[in-house]
Amino acid sequence: MAARRAARTGLNGLFAVYKPPGVASIRVRDTVETLLLKELNSLEQPAVQQQVRFLPTTVEGNAGKELTLTVTQLPVLAAHPLVRGPEFTHLKIGAGHRLDTKSSGVFVLGVGHGSKLLTDMYNAHLTRAYTVRGLFGKATDDFSDTGRLIEKTTFDHVTRDKLERILAVIQGTNHKALLMYSNIDLKTQEAYELAVEGLIRPMEKTPPLITAIRCLQFAPPEFQLEIQCLHETQQYLRKIVHEIGLELKSTSVCTQVRRIRDGFFTLDNALLRTHWNLQNIRNSIQDSKSKVKVGLQRSLSCQARSGKRHTDMDQVAESKLHSTEGMSASDLTHKMR
Amino acid sequence: MAFWARQISIWCSSVKTSNVANSIQQLRRTHRTWMQLHELSVLSLLCTDNQFFQRGLKTYQSVSLGSRLQSTNSSNGQIVSSENNLLSPVNHYQQQAEVIPSSDTETLYEVWEDTPPSSALEEISEEEAVQIVAEPPLPLGSFTLRDYVDRSETLSKLVLLGVDLSKVEKRPHAGQLLLRLDFEKDVRKRLLFLKDVGVEDHQLGPFLTQNPYILAVDMEALETRVAYLKSKKFGKEAVAQMVSRAPFLLSFSVERLDNRLGFFQKELGLSVQKTRDLVVRLPRLLTGSLEPIKENWQMCQVELGFRRNEIQQIVTKIPKILTANKRKLTETFDYLHNVMGIPHHILTNFPQVFNSKLLRVKERHMFLTFLGRAQYDPAQPSYISLDKLVSMPDEVFCTEVAKASVKDFEKFLKTL
């Protein structure tokens, strides 16, 4: 019993897995749960309890056969694992920010009490980093390479310079929006301190915001971007690739979306499909424990400060919010024209 | 138990006015009757036959029982309803306990008068005393076999044999069936028979977990079925293997088995010997539904474009393809044929690839393409057979086929 309880207590916290492309994230969660349950249930079973029973038996007494009760110790079969069934039938596993089926990369899961940490992580509004591959010359209805083809274009005129100019514009407009949404007066000491720590970011739900974007590789028709962003979906990133293609007077589709960082979980922490077992997951939880704690504390202190700020500058913030109302994600990218 | 105590206390108050000795006597009598009724109800659980229970309770109906108990007659044998019904008498007792005024209890006692009265102060012999069971009574009805396992010889022996009761009780009617069996009379014979057929000791537990119903099948029928299999020239080992791998095989009637064997021979166009080999390798084919098998066969021909003799070759090598998931099969084939560019005749030679997961094939193929080693044409140098591609574990695959380190492979997987 002790071994199992220890096993269970070892499973409280956050860990990251590497989601392969083509598998739904809910399937990944279910697979991890199934594997963990299988291993937990195959752990050494506790010895079956004994109970004392009085059984009637015939004994050869001095007056012939006599019926008496004898004390016997019998195992309690009702507690036998074959009667009771498996000890663990489900585990509480929560998923962090989702990845859609086509995309791959770091996918955070929380076990046991870790599910609460997932909420904290959501409230911390941490940035995530992606690498995105694009392909010039095509446009499809869902912006990915598997969608229905809409048009074909030439891309001879596209150069790296032109691409980087567009990227700079995207980063510029998004940076402006980021400052606006983070409700901060840039001319204050407080803003300076936050900026030094790199913590300027909105603390409530906003449209997707790109905090950094750069070109990793440019070899027409292929190109690869690295995007760091907030509150995004994978489909939004595909749309960005599509719009970059349009801006370059061409078209492009997205061939791969791969998350390389989710908050404080990087690619190195992510467990591959073949490594999903009890031991590895427990080690991974242990390793990430301190990192999660520090990271969440840092963002919470920032949040507390921003909360104070919020009350101070209620009016300012409100007027600013009004001016940004009705501005959607696509507006942000279209503004750069 | 709490309910009993309540019941007795109610009667206690009802007979308070009469003299004390009398009341004790009556209490004892009612207690006895309750015990009997209780045993009756447990018995009725064991044999599902509610009429027995009904007879025991007939005297009650005149007093207060509602219409619900009567409805139990109509639904004999149905598991869910019978379990509900078995629970229902408790409610009736409770209702009765609340409703009955003291005058009614007098009539109750009169009705129960046929049990011989005995005094609480009456001396009983040692023999009788020993036989009094001082354990809590079995529950009237239950959703699990856990409540009965410690008190039922059959169940406890089956557990020690390795039967997973937690799984058996989920099968329809299986719980009632096991409770009704007598180990010495019913179970022992069939276990010995199974052992004679060739089911090994350690397989008996899992076997009965899957098919507990075989314990209720007529012995003669079992013998004719085995004789039938032997008449179809299945060897002793073959029969043993088939029976232990497909526990439901012996629950099928001879005609049905014959039909199914005929199906494989006719539809798949296999020779007698090949059919026999196929069925011995995957006896699940005989006990499962034939519809998916037909569909898979059609799909291989129409969708995947294999020729008839090619499918026959594949099926003799991996019979599992007939029971595989259609969607997964098409996906794997699509990837192998259209992305990796492997023609049909090579796939026919290495059908093992259809057994492996698509993700595994994909990952390895991509790694080999990345290294520039993806060459599946046997006519050209540095040829990699499909068998090698999928059957090896990661470490062996990396060192022998990809000629790279496992670390590199893992790094590559994280870039997908």
How far is residue B313's CA from residue B293's CA, in Å, rounded to a whole number?
A: 16
In the predicted structure, residue B20 carries a pLDDT above the cut 50: no
Q: What pLDDT was estimated at residue B51? A: 43
Instruction: Return the top range by mean pLDDT from A293-307, B12-26, B313-327.
Output: B313-327
Does the distance separating the beta carbons of A76 and B166 come in below 8 Å? no
A117-142: average pLDDT: 91
Return left, alpha or beta for A94; rule: phi > 0 is left, psi -120 to 50 is alpha, else beta. Answer: beta
Nearest to B150 among A21, A76, A104 (CB): A76
- Using a CB-CB cut-off of 8 Å, the residues of chain A touching B155 are 77
Burial class (CB in 10 A: 0-12, 13-18, 19+), A108: buried
In chain A, the residue whose alpha carbon lies closest to the alpha carbon of B151 is A77
Is the peptide bond prior to A221 cis by the omega test (within 30 degrees of 0)? yes
Residues B228/B242, Cβ–Cβ less than 8 Å: no
Residues whose CB falls within 8 Å of the CB of residue B302, separated by 6 or more in sequence, listed in order: none
Q: How many helices (H) and strands (E) does chain B have?
A: 26, 0
Contact B346, B376 (CB under 8 A): yes
pLDDT for residue A332 is more than 50: no
- Provide the mean pLDDT of chain A: 83
* Residue contact A21–B126, C-beta within 8 A: no
Chain B residues inside the 8 Å CB shell of A20: 359, 363, 413, 416
Confidence of residue A240 (pLDDT cuts 50, 70, 90): very high
B129 CB within 8 Å of a chain A CB = no
**Which residues in chain B have Cβ-Cβ distances shorter than 8 Å to A85?**
164, 166-167
HSE toward the beta carbon, residue A336, CA cutoff 13 A: 23
CA dist., res. B7 & res. B93, Å (int): 9
- How confident is the model at residue A15, as a pLDDT? 92
pLDDT number for residue B47: 42
The predicted structure's pLDDT at residue B71: 38
Domain boundaries, chain A: 1-46+87-126+265-318, 50-81, 127-262
Chain B window 348-367: which residues touch A at a Cβ cutoff of 8 Å? Answer: 359, 362-363
The pLDDT > 90 percentage for chain A reads 43
Q: Quick check: B168 and B212 in contact, CB under 8 A?
A: yes
- Domain topology for A127-262: Pseudouridine synthase (3.30.2350)
Query: What pLDDT shows up at residue B63?
Result: 35
DSSP string, B299-356: HHHHTS---HHHHHHHHHH-GGGGTS-HHHHHHHHHIIIIIS---HHHHHH-GGGGGS
Nearest Cα residue in chain B from A275: B410
For residue B308 the two structure tokens come to 């008839």
DSSP lists the bridge partners of residue B382 as: none
Dist CA B288 CA B248 (whole Å): 9
Question: What does A51-111 look like in DSSP terms, one character per residue?
Answer: EEEEEEEEEEETTEEEEEEEEEEEE-GGGSHHHH--S-----EEE-S---TT-EEEEEEEE
CB contact under 8 Å between A83 and B127, yes or no, is no
DSSP at A271: B
- Burial level of A153, CB count in 10 A (0-12/13-18/19+)? middle
d(CA A135, CA A144): 9
Q: How far apart are CA A80 and CA B159, in angstroms?
A: 8
**Does residue B127 belong to the interface with chain A, where contact is any CB pair within 8 Å?**
yes
A76 inside 8 A of chain B by CB: yes
pLDDT of B18 reads: 42
Q: Residue A11: which pLDDT band, with cuts at 50, 70 and 90?
A: confident
Residue of A nearest to B132 (CA): A56
Report the C-alpha gap between A140 and A150 in whole angstroms: 5
Sign of CA dihedral B406, B411, B414, B416: negative
pLDDT at position B145, please? 84
Q: Output the six-digit token pair for B124.
A: 């009983």
Amino acid found at B268: L
A191-205 average pLDDT score: 82
Could you give the residue numbers annotated as active site of A?
Answer: 100
Q: Using pLDDT thresholds of 50, 70 and 90, give the confidence band for residue A312.
A: very low
* Cα distance between residue A126 and residue A229, in whole Å: 9
* Token digits of residue B404: 């790279």
Residue B6 has pLDDT above 60, yes or no: no
Average pLDDT over residues B307-318: 89
* Model pLDDT, residue A163: 92
Q: How many CA atoms lie within 13 A of A112 on its CB side?
A: 15
